[in-house]
């Protein structure tokens, strides 16, 4: 009404037309066929109304999360064995062509629309959404190609969906909404889920910092890509985090000497700690403390603990833009070279 100077009655008619023509997706807990100013709606483009995993006969809340996640793990792990590099960081998209396991996955993921996510635990949702997020990234890039522009990337992250448990989820709504506890992401002004969003009860309360080591960032600095079980998801995430922190892509220690000959250290961290430090603590020191709690006993932890206790350190972040969707067109290899 403010922008177009229309009257209230005309605005109500326009709102109803958005619903009737499927340009508005209702996200409130209470919804119906009539437009209401008391409900929340998401405006979407016409082709976005069809989720990437469409095709299943809708039978709401008939698929149990435990059975589905185990079947998903089995299929996706077989797929990863064929399409990932030896270190589990690089995806070879060309290996999806005429791949029978990928075809099996495409049929299986349709059933995600009918998942029963009511009364599920945090561990159940963590394992499920981590597994879906990682393979969904592969699926989106396979279908729409490597993003070459800002808008192309935006389509990948914000406007391509899976239907999961009767609701649409983008990469953004899984990552920032579910896994990070409904927090704003890089370059966003508000949380993915509004206060009336029916997906809000499914978020991981307060978020889980370990998920940053469990997702596929599509860079050479990503942690190893794997699948996660409901029974052991937290230990599996910690295992992945430890592997990542022991690599130079995530943590480097540089020693320097001041004029007093007293050593000082620069601790170089993966740039995600800069972007998402609030997930790990209130400041850099708390972030480093979080890392020490995750590291297993050994030389790295002993050295880092001594530096932390001395207070003679500063925090810097690795130069590479680690959170870019892709570092180059050459990363996702499509010709086995």
Q: What is the pLDDT of residues 4-45, one digit of tens each?
A: 888 998 889 888 887 776 666 666 666 677 888 888 777 655
**Each residue's pLDDT tens digit, 152-204:** 888 899 999 999 999 999 999 999 999 999 999 988 889 999 999 999 999 99
Distance separating alpha carbons of residues 144 and 195, to the nearest angstrom: 32
What is the rounded CA–CA span in Å between residue 199 and residue 20? 23
**Mean per-residue pLDDT, 226-232:** 98
Contacts of 110 (CB under 8 A, 6+ apart): 53, 54, 55, 56
Q: What is the pLDDT of residue 261?
A: 63
Percent of the chain with pLDDT over 90: 65
DSSP 8-state assignment for residue 91: B
Mean pLDDT of 87-110: 94
Q: Taking the complete model, does pTM exceed 0.95, yes or no?
A: no
Q: What CA–CA distance (Å, rounded) separates 62 from 202?
A: 17
Average of pLDDT values for 116-141? 97
pLDDT band at 318 (very low <50, low <70, confident <90, very high): confident
Transcribe 139-201 into DSSP letters. HHHHHH----SHHHHHHHHHS--EEETTEEE-HHIIIIIIITTS---TT-SS-SS-TTBTTGG
């Amino acid at each position: 009404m403010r922008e177009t100077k229309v009257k209230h009655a005309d605005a109500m008619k326009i709102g109803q037309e958005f619903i009737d023509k499927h340009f508005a997706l209702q996200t409130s807990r209470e919804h119906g066929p009539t437009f209401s100013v008391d409900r929340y709606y998401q405006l979407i483009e016409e082709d976005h109304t069809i989720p990437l995993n469409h095709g299943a006969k809708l039978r709401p809340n008939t698929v149990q999360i435990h059975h589905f996640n185990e079947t998903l793990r089995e299929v996706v792990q077989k797929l990863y064995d064929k399409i990932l590099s030896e270190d589990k960081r690089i995806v070879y998209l060309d290996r999806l062509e005429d791949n029978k396991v990928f075809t099996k996955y495409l049929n299986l993921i349709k059933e995600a629309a009918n998942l029963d996510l009511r009364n599920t635990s945090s561990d159940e949702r963590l394992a499920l959404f981590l597994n879906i997020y990682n393979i969904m990234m592969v699926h989106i890039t396979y279908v729409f190609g490597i993003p070459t522009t800002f808008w192309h990337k935006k389509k990948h992250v914000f406007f391509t969906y899976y239907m999961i448990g009767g609701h649409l989820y983008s990469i953004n709504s899984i990552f920032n909404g579910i896994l990070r506890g409904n927090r704003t992401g890089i370059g966003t002004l508000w949380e993915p889920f509004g206060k009336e969003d029916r997906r809000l009860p499914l978020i991981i309360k307060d978020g889980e910092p370990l998920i940053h080591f469990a997702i596929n960032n599509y860079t050479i600095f990503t942690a190893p890509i794997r699948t996660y079980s409901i029974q052991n998801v937290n230990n599996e995430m910690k295992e992945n985090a430890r592997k990542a922190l022991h690599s130079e892509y995530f943590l480097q220690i540089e020693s320097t000497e001041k004029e007093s000959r007293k050593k000082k250290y620069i601790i170089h961290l993966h740039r995600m700690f800069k972007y998402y430090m609030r997930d790990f603590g209130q400041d850099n020191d708390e972030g480093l403390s979080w890392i020490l709690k995750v590291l297993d006993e050994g030389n790295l932890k002993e050295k880092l603990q001594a530096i932390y206790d001395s207070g003679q350190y500063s925090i810097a972040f690795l130069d590479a833009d680690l959170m870019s969707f892709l570092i180059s067109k050459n990363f996702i290899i499509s010709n086995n070279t």
